Structure 1
Amino acid sequence: MAVALYAGSRRSSSAGAGRLTRHSFSFGPHYDPANLGFGPLVCHNDDLLDPGAGYGEHPHSELEIVTWVLEGSLVHTDSTGARHVVDAGRAQVLSAGAGIRHSEVADAGSGRCRFVQAWLRPSEPGGQPSYVVGEAPTPGSGGLTEVVGGDGLPIGASGARLLVARLAAGQSVTLPEDPRQHVFAATGSVDLAGTSLGDGDALRIEGEPGQVVTASAAAELLVWSFSA
């Protein structure tokens, strides 16, 4: 059993033209053999893009790529023919399958864009790429809502769920009963298991399900929960 804090201030970061990315795991040149992933989760990036900035077309394969937009709007295009503008409070799931190309750029007319993107290993390799956006329930205030997996958007990583909560100061939520969870304070601050998390901090929890999280200030919480 373990509850481990990963402070946002200690994350590695990458910068490009009009963009800043903070990495929760080993990523690209920021290689860390002790921090390669957590269950099927192998990437958890926090991106901030200036209007019109982002990532031109590039390839992926054998990944489930989940994006949650926190601020502004993100323009997604890919080689399946999909093109969508994903607004704040919406999720998208890109199943790369045997191979796909995509681009993601901040909508030039919507100000800066902040989003969190997770990459997960799929349960089954190969297959046809697919894309889905915007059908997940919108989180209300005060409770955890499944936005990916379960009753949310489909994902090809068995037993993985993304849950989101928007909490007012003093509100609490109980985490799922799954044995493994990644809890990320996207905004605001929360307290969990005697530990305080601020914007960008994360806890990785193993073997201690059902923890209670309480907001010490208005917060948006992103929770990846894994049944195995």
Structure 2
Amino acid sequence: MLDVRKSNDRGAASFGWLKSRHTFSFGHYHDPKHMGFGPLRVINEDHVQPGRGFDSHGHRNMEIISYVLDGALEHKDSMGNGSVLRYGDVQRMSAGSGVVHSEYNHSKTEGVHFLQIWIEPNTVGEAPGYEEKHFDTASKTGRLRLIASADGREGSVSMRQDASIYATILNGADAVSHQLAAGRQAYVHVVRGSVTANGVALNGGDALKVTAEDLVTLEQAEAAEVLVFDLPQ
């Protein structure tokens, strides 16, 4: 079964310094039909103005993944980590028993654009943890590159959930497929550009829920960047 989630149907938030679109219920946006998909709980697309950001705040029992699209995102946390993330960088923070962090636009002149993804862990109360890795454009072009997984295989960041996240950059005749095992489902999120997923035309910000299918196929792309989430049902 295929279920489309259009970009303009997402929740919206605007605070001057921040413009955000929420795929699932978050903050002041609440929609009982869009509370998550399996353990995937949040995909927020954030645009943050120069020099602004999220002050220190706490999280518990959530796997938080940041995927930077443009600009520079500065991170600091109560575990002592501090870094500046740019395009190609993927950060995983396991909130576990509790962590405090802040996120700011590192630049005073240019905006930062990133996705923040929350995945519910399969264990709670664990010690918090942190990891970041870089995935260059070539590693994602014309293929599905594993960027996050339960076991950190293939050089991906690891997370406390039986889930996998793949990133791909496609254009023209490029086409990729991902096999879904029994009991699995997929969420396809188009970061930018356009692509056809299992015969459904999607544009930037659109998404596709894939259930009771054994294959995800992406083709007919135009300057597309796409995330594919392989999730338990």
Q: TM-score range by the shorter chain?
A: over 0.9
1:156 and 2:160 equivalent?
yes
- Helix, strand or coil: the match of 2:79? coil
SS state at 2:172 partner: coil
User: Per-residue deviation at 1:140?
Assistant: 3.0
Alignment gaps of 5+ in structure 1: none
User: Helix, strand or coil for the counterpart of 1:48?
Assistant: strand
Per-residue deviation, 1:109: 5.0
Question: Following TM superposition, by how much is the alpha carbon of 1:110 offset from its aligned partner in structure 2, in angstroms?
Answer: 6.9
* Superposition pairs of residues 12-91 of structure 1, within 5 angstroms: 12-91=11-90
Q: Within the alignment, does 1:172 sit opposite 2:171 as a pair?
A: no
Moved more, 60-69 or 13-22: 13-22
Does 2:226 align with 1:221?
yes
For normalisation by structure 1, the TM-score amounts to: 0.94
* Aligned counterpart, 1:193: 198
Contact 1:76 1:83 in 2 (8 A): yes
**Alpha-carbon deviation of 1:207?**
1.8
TM-superposition CA deviations, 1:56-104 (whole Å, max 9, x none): 1111001000111111111011100100101111100000001111111
When normalised by structure 2's length, the TM-score is 0.92
Q: Aligned Cα RMSD in Å? A: 1.6
For structure 2, which runs of at least 5 residues remain unmatched after alignment? none
User: Residue in 1 aligned with 2:140?
Assistant: 140
**Aligned partner letter, 1:187:** R
Equivalent position SS for 2:215: coil
Deviations 1:1-24 (A, max 9, x none): x11000001111111231111000
State how far apart, in whole Å, the 2-side matches of 1:177 and 1:15 are.
Answer: 37
CA drift at 1:224: 1.1
Instruction: State the identity as a percent.
Output: 31
